[in-house]
Amino acid sequence: MKIREKILHAAARVYAETGYRGATTRRIAREAGVNEITLFRHFGTKDVLLHEAIESAGTEEPAAALPETPQRPRTELMEWARAHLAAFRARGALIRTCLGDRTIPRSGSAPAAATHRLALYLDRLRTGGLARDDFDPAAAAALLMGALFADAVGRTIMPDMYGNDPEEALQEYLDLFLRAIGADFEESTA
């Protein structure tokens, strides 16, 4: 791993654990195994370093892709949703810290791009006759992504609100979503 990447990973970890004030350049340097001068040579300031670290932590998108030609909406969406929920959960501490510090990544985030691709898939479901044609794919995509995000971030801080098993919750979210867009979610195994 390159020094710059090591520093970014270390900064994201330290920031997720301690927030802006606790993420000192000294602590980040120690975590990355470099000296503070190296941090400043690569990034100039703590603010630039933390912004880049937060941005880079959100750029890795799960491998699950939605097909160009939808055939089994529930199966395809379940694989996609499970991968994105896992990615949100893996970054849960960082997300919660960003929300607490009001540090919002700039545009072009992986979740925004994934939501856009989901909307395109939902539009293909509509045009292919696998879902109703009277819903807005962008709004529907935001709804599903919002449910996944809320579960990933909220389950650990509001456990009373999420009493069901995480996998059961995912299946329920998806079944409710599919009913709302009029997609066939009772797929045959034939």
Spatial CA neighbour of 90 closest among 15, 32, 152, 142: 152
pLDDT value of position 19:
86
What pLDDT, on a 0 to 100 scale, did the predictor assign at position 189?
41
Give the 3-state secondary structure of the chain: CCHHHHHHHHHHHHHHHHHHHHCCHHHHHHHHCCCHHHHHHHHCCHHHHHHHHHHHHCCCCCCCCCCCCCCCHHHHHHHHHHHHHHHHHHCHHHHHHHHHHCCCCCCCCHHHHHHHHHHHHHHHHHHCCCCCCCCCHHHHHHHHHHHHHHHHHHHHHCCCCCCCCHHHHHHHHHHHHHHHHCCCCCCCCC
Which amino acid, 38? T
pLDDT per residue over 137-185, tens digit each? 999 999 999 999 899 888 888 888 887 889 999 999 999 999 999 997 6
94 against 121, higher pLDDT: 121
132 has pLDDT over 50: yes
Handedness of CA 154, 87, 55, 19 (dihedral sign): positive
User: Does the pLDDT value for residue 99 go beyond 80?
Assistant: no
Quote the pTM value.
Answer: 0.76
Largest CA distance in the chain: 63
Question: pLDDT band at 17, cuts 50/70/90?
Answer: confident
Model confidence at 190, pLDDT cuts 50, 70, 90, reads very low
pLDDT of residue 188: 41
Measured distance CA(34)–CA(182) in Å, rounded: 55
All structural domains of the chain: 3-57 (1.10.10.60), 73-181 (no CATH)
Averaged pLDDT of the chain = 86
Each residue's pLDDT tens digit, 35-55: 999 999 999 999 899 888 887
